[in-house]
Structure formats: structure tokens, C-alpha cells
Amino acid sequence: MLNFVENRRIYFIITGLLILLSATVLVVSTVMYGSPLRISIDFTGGSLFVLQFEEPITEEAIREVFAAQGHTGAIIQQLGDSKDNLWQARTRAAVATEVENVFDEFVSRGETVDRERSSVDIVAPTVGAEVASNAAVAVLAASLVILVFIWFSFRGVPHSIRYGIASIIAMLVNVIVAIGFYALMGILQGWEANALFLTALLTVIGFSVQDIIVVFDRVRENISRHHGETFALIVNRSVMETVHRSLATQLNAMFIMIAILLFGGATIKPFIAVMLVGMLSETFTSLFVAAPILVVWDERSSHRQHAHG
Amino acid sequence: MNKNTLTALIAILLLTLVSLYLILPIEHPAMVTNLLFWRPAGSRSLDFRQGLDLRGGLQVLMAADMPADQELPSGAMKTASQIVENRVNALGLTEPIVQVRGQRKLNVELPGINDPGAAIDTIRETALLEFVEPPAGAAQQLTTGATVSTTFGLEESAELTATAEGLFKTVMTGAALKDVAPGMDQQTGQWLVNFKLTADQTDFFGEYTRSHIGQLLCIVLDKQILSCPQIQGAIPNGQGSISGKFSSADAQSLALQLRYGSLPIPLKIESYETIGPSLGADSVEKSLRAGIIGLSVVFLFMLIYYRLNGLAADLALALYVLLNLLLYKLIPVTMTLPGIAGFLLSTGMAVDANILVFERMKEELRRGRSLHRAIEAGFARAWTSVRDSNLATLLTCAVLWFFGDAFAASLVKGFAITLAIGTLVNVFTAIFVTRTFVRVAFHLFGEKALEKPWLLGI
């Protein structure tokens, strides 16, 4: 039998390295861009161009003009009927000279933009900064509720609060790893944290606890079934017995995510990728972090008891 | 077959047929929509609500309705934007965009609007509630519905000459209200809106009413008179009610508007346009196709890995998809691309409960149990895991929902609703439906026929 619990040092070191790596990336990103994640215009606000053309124009053509002026990732939408030739583009905040450059770029490409009937306004964020901080508070509140829930649900076994705390630690590790990954991709690929990213993080949190509870539920069952065995042995047995299920479930979620990553639209790939990383982290932490924490805690406290007794 | 199993099977088949019928993109007879949405009858269509990113919607540009040279109170536009967003959210639209544009404009984008007129009416109901003192000699024009000019938003100096010019002097605005609820006048049986004032305003209003006994105080909503009651005596406790020949629906909608805040400044609709999807149609189509590929792999995997059980799980999974889509239509949930991706992912996760059960069955069989007992033990033993893990997810949803609600983060709220629906449906299909299918198969073919390792994937 593979001994997961015996190898826990290795898993804790891997976890520590992952956290350290994430923290490093966040610091690097802060130094480079002034914030741990590159923030999208959902949160920062920016400029709203309303563009009146005289001749029909395609979305791609507009996108190219903005990209040529350094505004990649502009959100471009048509307004009114297609015969109105009226378009709207959301971009990062553009100063007056940048705005003029965009209009010049249209002209130099032979597009008939009507400067008089077009407008540019500064717009406030669509997702306020307070939404992000409220989401963070919501995550902490959810953690507390889950802690209490697991504590209550496992009240039949000794030290049930440990199960709750171990779950929360594992969940927070998943969140940190997912954020670190996104920050890294922000540096490498220019991924920006937007409302989708927030949704992906919430998904990781929502599913995180499921994996952990399945493992802990087996520990709970095995405690009553295998009296006399050491706690470490019981936990190891429980991890072994649930590893099949964890992998099978993981595989199914991965089928969907990899299919969307390979064949899906470009706009949601970062969203799917961060969920995929979160899910992988979840499988790892539920088996190799949450369960070993229980064992370490148990051994520490029984050592202490022996020392006193 | 056990009678309960048979009943369950019939119920499942009926449910499948009904959901399939309601989901199909066909014209449903008026009778069906009248039956489903009876309040008022046929008030909604059985279409999926699609978000701004998928289908676009309606863009409404609102502007502060005040003289251009007059400065707005600081933060007024931001507050107005939050109030408009609250109101839009309260109407069941998820993930709208409400943002301050420039100095005195609001950009509102509403997803999935078929009837621009109705939508504009909704946000136009700006609910600027004022308590005003009528000018001397204006008694004859104090009829319900009459439009009046008030001093609200005017310079201090204008206030002094207010009564002389026939202006109504604004005593207090809706910002002073704390609790608002619809109610009924016990004596006349008329609908009214009860309110309670904030602590500061209670003192002010108590003082005001004490010094103006016998005078009229008009309640004006968006510059239209609702009623002009006479001040009978001092109102020290800050409680009162607004009457105005309301229907129950009027009273409720007014209470809703007032509860979600009264605008600090009046807004007018400057223009409105339809707006195209923010994600290209191409992107959406590709992602959907990709999701279906992924889903097919999940179906195949379950079938190959768990064989007969896998077939039962696949059927249950198909029902899971149907029921989710049905609930999205009925509630309704606005479909966005991330929402769809999340749903597809949840479908991949939905087999988790099945996997838990099937792995458990295999374990029981390896321990030498009979097939019949292994099946029942599989479902019974896996239940605590399934129950606790899904309860934890539901609790997470509840917390996120309350936070989303309290802080007007419709994004978080929409996510919580979708995940909660998926979780509930999942427990139903993965346990109840799959178990019924497995039992039926067991009954149809008998224990002997099924006790073949290749059929159970052991």
C-alpha cells in the first residue's frame, strides 16, 4: 500500500513551494504593474468611445485600429441597426492625445469616421472595487460557515474542529495557487483579472470543499470501523480508498475544460484555464494536504499528552 | 418490480418528457405560458434569457436632469448609479451594466430586453420622493397627479423666494426614509406605503410638524402630487404613511422603489439604442461546440468505465442537463458565456456523486457481498459523503448570495444561484434517478444475468 501519510513532508514542501511561487509572482506583478494582478477595465473603468461611421465597418477592423494604438482587449459592440454604422468600444483610460491618435488611425486606414458625431467619455468601473473586496469578505464568511458546518457535521469524531480548519487551509491554498497562476499569466500573456476571473475563483471555492469532505467522510467512517488502528493508518487507508473516486471525478471535469480550452472561443480561455488549475490544486490538497494535516495535528497533540503524562 | 420503484420510474419519465417539451425551441401554446407564469397570466415567454455578452440588449443613456451650469452634489452620480443598479437587479435582470459616464451621465445596459418601452419605463421610474410645502394660494391645484415645480436642487437663494414664485418648497426627500413597506389602511381598506424615517430626520420632521400644524404637506413623486394631507399634529416618532389611491401593485412597486433608494438627483433618459453582444457570436458558438465535445467524452467515459451503471448514470446526467436548462428558463436565469461554461463544468462534476456510489458498490462486491446488497449498500454508504459535500456547497452558495444581495454584486449572486440549482438537481438525479434506473435494470434482467464482471466494469 502506498503510504501517503508517511510522505507528507514531501507534500507539505510541494505545497509550501506552490504558495511561495504564487507569492513571488504576485510581488513581481506588483513591482511591474503596481498591482498583484493586472486589473481589467471591469474594475478600473476606462474610456468609452462611441464611433459614428459613414460607411459600414467590421468589428475586426475597429479592433485592429485600437490594437494598433496599444488598446488590446477593447470590448467592441454595435449600437442600433447595422445600417446606423454606430459602434461603441470600451478601452483602458485613454488620454486626449491617445484619443486623437485613435481617430487619426481610423482616417489613415481610410475609414470614414465622423469625428463630430462621435464621442469619448471617461466611464466608471462596471464592477466596483468594492465588489471585489466584498467578494473577498464573502469568501471569508463562506470559510467560517463551512468551518462551523464541518465541525458540526463531524461532531461524532474526536477533535472535529480540526477537520473544519484543515478544510479551510486546503481551500485557501487552492485560492492562492489559482490567483498566483493568473498573476503569472498576467505577466507572460497579459491576462487581466476581470469579472470572469472572480467567477472562476468562486467556482474553485464552491467545489473545493466537496473533494475534502469526501476524504474526511471516509476517515469518519473508518474511525468507527477500524478500532485499534493508529490514526495515521486510518487516514492513509481513507485516502487510498477515495483516490479512485477523486481521479475519476477530476478526469470528467478535465474532459470538459480541456475541450473548451482546445476548441472554445478565445474570450473564455483564461477563465477556463484558471478553473482547471484550481481543480488540479483541489485534488492535490484534498488528498495530500487536508488529510495529512489531521495526522500531524493528532501526533503533535498526543506527543504533548505523553510528555505531560 | 417494487411498487415504489415503478412509481419513481414513471415520475422520472414524465418529468423528462415535460422538461424536454418546455425546453424545445418551439412556439409553446399560450395555454402553457399562461399556466407557468400565471401572475399575470402569460407575462413571460418561455425563452432563454441571454446576457449582454451573448445577445446584446438595450443601452440606455441617462443624464442628470438639472441645469448644465449647476454643480451636482459630490458623489451624487455614483449613488444614483448604485441605486439604478439595485433597481435593475431587483427586477430580476442579472449582470446588467450600470456605469457613470463622464460627469453627469449614466450608461445602463440591459440584457435580453424584448420590449424597450417597458424597460425604459422601469428605469425611468426614478422615484424622487419629496415632502413639499405648497405655496400660498395654490390650494386649487393640489390634485393627485398634478405636476409641480419644487425647490429641490435649486440654490439656497431661490428657496427664499420659492413661495412667491409658486414653487413648492422641498422639506425632505426620500433619502430620509429608512424602512418602507406596503400596507393597508385599516379604516378605508386602501393600499398605502408605510415608512419610518432615519434617526436624524425623525427629529427634524418632529420639529417641522410641530411648527406647521394645520398646514398642508404634499407628498410628491417625480414632481407629481401623490397626496396633500393636512398636518394634524406633531409626528415625533418618524413613522408615517403615503396614500394616493394605489392598487396593491402600485403600493408594492412604490415601496420597492423607495426601499432601494431614492435618487439623490433627478435623471432623464437621453437616448436609447439596441446594443450588440460584447462577445462575438463566433466565440459563443465555438465554446458551446467545445463544451458538447467535452460532455460527449464524459458520457463515453462513464459508459466505458462503469458499463451498466455508467449507462444509468448517463441517462441521469441527460436528465440533469434537461432539468437545469428548464430551471434556467422558469426562474429565469440570464445565460452568459461564463454561466454556460460553469454549467458545462458542473455537468462534468455532476457525475461525482455517481462515481462515489459506483466505487462504493465495487468495494462492497470485492468484499464478497451479493450484487443486490452491494447496490443498496453503495447508495446508502455513499450518501453521507454526497449529503455533506453538497450541503457544504449549498451553504457556500447561500453566503455568496446574501453578500451579492447586500452589496448589489449581481455577478456573485447570479453565480450563487446557478451553482445552487446545479447542486440540488445533481443530488436528485445522481442519487434518486440513478438508483431507480439501476434497480429497474436489476429487476428486468435479474441478479444472475447481471453478475458478470464485464457488465459492471470490475
Nearest one of B160, B145, B442 to B312, comparing CA atoms: B442
Q: Which residues of A touch B282 (CB under 8 A)?
A: 265
**Would you say how long chain B is, in residues?**
458
Contact list, A91 vs chain B (CB under 8 Å): none
B-chain CB neighbours of A77 within 8 Å are 56, 275-278
**What's the rounded mean pLDDT across residues B7-23?**
93
Q: Is residue A1 part of a domain?
A: no
**Pair (A12, A161) in one structural domain:** yes
Tell me, yes or no, whether A246 lies in a domain: yes
CA distance B439 to chain A (A): 22
Q: In this predicted structure, which of A11-20, A22-31, B207-216, B220-229 has the lowest mean pLDDT?
A: B220-229
For residue B124, what pLDDT band results from cuts at 50, 70 and 90? low
Q: What pLDDT, on a 0 to 100 scale, did the predictor assign at position B269? A: 83
pLDDT band at B281 (very low <50, low <70, confident <90, very high): low
Number of domains in chain A: 2
Give the Cα separation of B319 and B13 in Å (integer).
10
- Average confidence score pLDDT of chain A: 87
Tell me the pLDDT band of B162, cut-offs 50, 70 and 90: very low
Q: Alpha helix locations (H) across B161-247?
A: 199-211
CA angle, residues A67, A195, B124, in degrees to nearest 5: 95
Q: Which residue, among A289, A37, A23, has the nearest Cα to A169 in the 3D structure?
A: A289
Query: Is the per-residue pLDDT at A45 higher than 50?
Result: yes
B342 has a chain A CB within 8 A of its CB:
yes
Contact A286, A16 (CB under 8 A): no
Nearest to B290 among A207, A248, A260 (CB): A260
Please identify, among A123, A144, A160, the residue that sits at the C-terminal boundary of a domain.
A123
CB-based contact A210 B390, cutoff 8 Å: yes
Q: Are residue A138 and residue A212 in the same domain, yes or no?
A: yes
CB-nearest partner of B59 from A79, A196, A217 = A79
What are the chain A neighbours of B56 within 8 Å (beta carbons)? 77-78
pLDDT at site A19:
96
Asked if residue A2 belongs to a domain, the reply is no
Per-residue pLDDT reduced to its tens digit, A210-253: 889 999 999 999 998 888 889 999 999 999 989 888 888 889 98
> Across the interface, do B105 and A121 touch by the CB < 8 Å criterion?
yes
Q: Which of A84, A107, A123 is the last residue in one of the domains?
A: A123
Task: Report the mean per-residue pLDDT for chain B.
Answer: 80
pLDDT value, residue B418: 84
Asked whether residue A217 is domain-assigned, the answer is: yes
C-alpha cell at B406: 447586500
Q: Is residue A237 part of a domain?
A: yes
- Single out the residue of B349, B323, B337, B327 nearest to residue B432, CA to CA: B323
CA distance A206 to A135: 13
- For residue A253, being part of any structural domain is answered with yes
Q: Is residue A68 part of a domain?
A: yes
In terms of Cβ atoms closer than 10 Å to its own Cβ (0-12, 13-18, 19+), residue B71 is: exposed
Question: Do A163 and A227 sit in the same domain of this protein?
Answer: yes
Contact B216, B228 (CB under 8 A): yes
pLDDT band at A208 (very low <50, low <70, confident <90, very high): confident
Q: Which of B17-31, B66-80, B206-220 bottoms out in mean pLDDT, i.e. has the lowest? A: B66-80
Quote the CA–CA distance of A298 and A294 in Å, as a whole number.
Answer: 6
Nearest C-alpha of chain B: how many angstroms from A46? Answer: 10
- Please provide the DSSP assignment of B289-339 as one string: HHHHHHHHHHHHHHHHHHHHHHHHHHHHHHHHHHHHHHHHHHTT-EE-HHH
Q: Which of these three, A123, A151, A182, is where a domain ends?
A: A123
- For residue A37, pLDDT beyond 80: yes
Q: Which of B350, B313, B316, B347 has the alpha carbon at shortest distance from B456?
A: B313
Contact A271, A198 (CB under 8 A): no
Q: Is residue A218 one of the residues assigned to a domain?
A: yes
> Chain A partners of B392 at a C-beta cutoff of 8 Å?
146, 149-150, 209-210, 213
Distance (Å) of CA B190 to CA A199, B130, B186: 46, 22, 8
Question: What was the pLDDT predicted at A309?
Answer: 46
A294/A160 same-domain check: yes
A173 and A101 both lie in a single domain: no
Task: Using the predicted structure, report yes or no on whether residue B210 has a pLDDT greater than 50.
Answer: yes
What pLDDT, on a 0 to 100 scale, did the predictor assign at position B29? 80
Whether residue A135 is found in the same domain as residue A117: no
What is the distance between the alpha carbons of residues B272 and B176, in angstroms, rounded to a whole number?
Answer: 32
φ/ψ (deg, to 5) at B70? -95, 130
**Same-domain check for residues A108 and A85:** yes
Structural contact between residues B226 and B219, judged by C-beta atoms closer than 8 angstroms: yes
From the list A80, A138, A150, which residue is nearest B399 (CB)?
A138
Same domain, A221 and A281: yes
If asked whether residues A256 and A132 sit together in one domain, one would say yes
- A:B CB pairs within 8 Å: 227
pLDDT, residue A307, reads 63
- Among candidate residues A305, A186, A291, A188, the one with its CA nearest the CA of residue A241: A291
Chain B residues within 8 A of A273 when measuring between CB atoms: none
Q: Do residues A119 and A243 both lie within one domain?
A: no
Domains and CATH numbers, chain B: 3-23+279-456 (1.20.1640.10), 57-125 (3.30.70.3400), 129-262 (3.30.1360.200)
| Contact B51/A at CB under 8 A | no
CATH classification of the domain holding A159: 1.20.1640.10
CATH number at residue A112: 3.30.70.3220
**B291 contact A CB<8A:** yes
CB spacing of A217 vs B101 below 8 angstroms:
no
Q: Which contacts of B448-453 are long-range, i.e. CB under 8 A and separated by 24 or more positions?
A: B450/B308, B450/B371, B451/B371
In this structure, the answer to whether residues A135 and A267 fall within a common structural domain is yes
Residue numbers of the domain that contains A159: 8-38+127-308
Q: How many Å apart are CA A249 and CA A286, to the nearest integer?
A: 13
Residue ranges in B407-433 assigned as alpha helix (H): 410-427
Q: Is the pLDDT of residue B346 over 90?
A: no
Percent of chain A exceeding pLDDT 90 equals 43
Whether residues A264 and B286 touch (CB distance < 8 A) is answered with yes
The three-class DSSP label of residue B146 is coil
A73 phi and psi angles, rounded to 5 deg: 75, 20
- Chain B residues whose CB is inside 8 A of the A224 CB are none
Instruction: Looking at the structure, tell me whether residues A63 and A140 fall in a common domain.
Output: no
| Coil, helix or strand at residue B204 | helix
Which residue type does A158 have?
Answer: P
Contact (CB<8Å) A134/B407: yes
In the predicted model, what is the mean pLDDT of residues B381-397?
89
Query: Do you find a cis peptide bond into B332, omega within 30 degrees of 0?
Result: yes
What does chain A come to in residues?
309
